[in-house]
């Protein structure tokens, strides 16, 4: 299966979740965290605490509830209904994810590991979600705890270099050096000052 992996900015975009069970509520939580506008449709909900700042429609499904949707998540326990939701969503120009129905999906939601701005996504194209979950556990054990803070520090160094180093190739080489494992270890020991020192030395040495 050919898939195109992306990290999608959903802030301010409409995401509609059909269903009120635990799976649907997990979708609601993750979409809210990403800044999406969320509308959830179900006759009843597994956890009312997940509905804060969410447009809630306590009715059975109707295609009109997909109005203005960019993303649709069909999370009911009725496969025929999920398939119908997928058809309606595509007709209205939205991309759809149907839980446990890969053939009806336009996209799949990967298993996610987050460390600040560092996001590792593991997907199997909907073929083996349990394997994705197992790989997530294994990768979570080896992904450094401070990698998120390291990433934020690198972002600041990148901004600084854009004002200090005119040559694009030189900036690129310095950022590569700042991003390597030795620089990460130095950051863990001494914080951002370690990266600033490496940057100054690299500039003085005229990298590349």
Region 129-141: mean pLDDT is: 96
Is there a single domain that holds both residue 105 and residue 152?
Answer: no
Is there a single domain that holds both residue 23 and residue 98?
Answer: yes
Mean pLDDT of the chain: 95
Long-range contacts (CB closer than 8 Å, 24 or more residues apart) made by 191-197: 191/153, 192/153, 192/156, 192/157, 195/153, 195/154, 195/157, 196/157
Is there a single domain that holds both residue 170 and residue 96?
Answer: no
Region 32-45: mean pLDDT is: 97
Q: Is the pLDDT of residue 1 over 80?
A: no
Q: Is the pLDDT of residue 138 over 60?
A: yes
Residue 36 maps to which CATH number?
3.40.50.720
Is there a single domain that holds both residue 84 and residue 33?
Answer: yes
Is there a single domain that holds both residue 39 and residue 93?
Answer: yes
Q: What is the pLDDT of residue 126?
A: 86
Is there a single domain that holds both residue 19 and residue 105?
Answer: yes
Q: What is the pLDDT of residue 4?
A: 93
Q: What is the pLDDT of residue 49?
A: 87
Q: Is residue 95 situated within a structural domain?
A: yes
**Count of domains in the chain?**
2
Is there a single domain that holds both residue 90 and residue 38?
Answer: yes
Residue closest to 112 by CA, chosen among 101, 124, 121, 99 = 121
Q: Is residue 121 situated within a structural domain?
A: no
Q: What is the pLDDT of residue 208?
A: 55
Cβ neighbours, 10 Å, residue 51: 17
Q: Is residue 90 situated within a structural domain?
A: yes
CA distance 204 to 206: 5
Q: Is residue 133 situated within a structural domain?
A: no
Is there a single domain that holds both residue 96 and residue 165?
Answer: no
Is there a single domain that holds both residue 20 and residue 104?
Answer: yes
Region 149-167: mean pLDDT is: 95
Q: What is the pLDDT of residue 6?
A: 93
Q: Is residue 138 situated within a structural domain?
A: no
Q: Is the pLDDT of residue 207 over 90?
A: no
pLDDT tens string 62-102: 999 999 999 999 999 999 999 999 999 999 999 999 999 99
Q: Select from 81, 109, 137 the last residue of a domain.
A: 109
Q: Is residue 1 situated within a structural domain?
A: no
Q: Is the pLDDT of residue 2 over 90?
A: no
Q: Is the pLDDT of residue 206 over 90?
A: no
Q: Is residue 142 situated within a structural domain?
A: no
Is there a single domain that holds both residue 18 and residue 85?
Answer: yes
Is-contact 44 70, C-beta < 8 A?
Answer: no
> Domain of 189?
147-205
Is there a single domain that holds both residue 102 and residue 177?
Answer: no
Q: Is residue 87 situated within a structural domain?
A: yes
Which pTM was predicted?
Answer: 0.86
Confidence of residue 194 (pLDDT cuts 50, 70, 90): very high
Is there a single domain that holds both residue 105 and residue 151?
Answer: no
């Amino acid at each position: 299966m050919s898939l195109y992996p992306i990290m999608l900015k959903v802030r301010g975009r409409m995401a509609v979740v059909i269903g009120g069970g635990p799976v649907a509520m997990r979708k609601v939580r993750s979409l809210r965290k990403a800044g999406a506008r969320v509308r959830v449709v179900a006759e009843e909900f597994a956890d009312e605490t997940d509905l804060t700042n969410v447009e809630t429609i306590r009715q059975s499904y109707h295609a009109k509830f997909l109005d203005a949707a960019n993303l649709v998540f069909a999370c009911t326990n009725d496969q025929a209904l999920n398939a119908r939701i997928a058809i309606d969503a595509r007709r209205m120009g939205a991309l759809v994810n149907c839980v446990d129905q890969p053939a009806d999906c336009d996209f799949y939601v990967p298993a996610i590991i987050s460390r600040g701005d560092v996001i590792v996504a593991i997907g199997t194209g909907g073929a083996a979600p349990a394997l994705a979950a197992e790989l997530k556990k294994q990768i979570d054990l080896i992904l450094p705890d401070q990698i998120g803070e390291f990433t934020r520090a690198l972002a600041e160094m990148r901004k600084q270099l854009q004002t200090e180093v005119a040559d694009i190739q030189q900036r690129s080489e310095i950022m590569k050096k700042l991003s390597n494992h030795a620089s990460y270890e130095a950051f863990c020991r001494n914080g951002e000052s370690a990266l600033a020192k490496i940057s100054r030395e690299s500039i003085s040495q005229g990298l590349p």
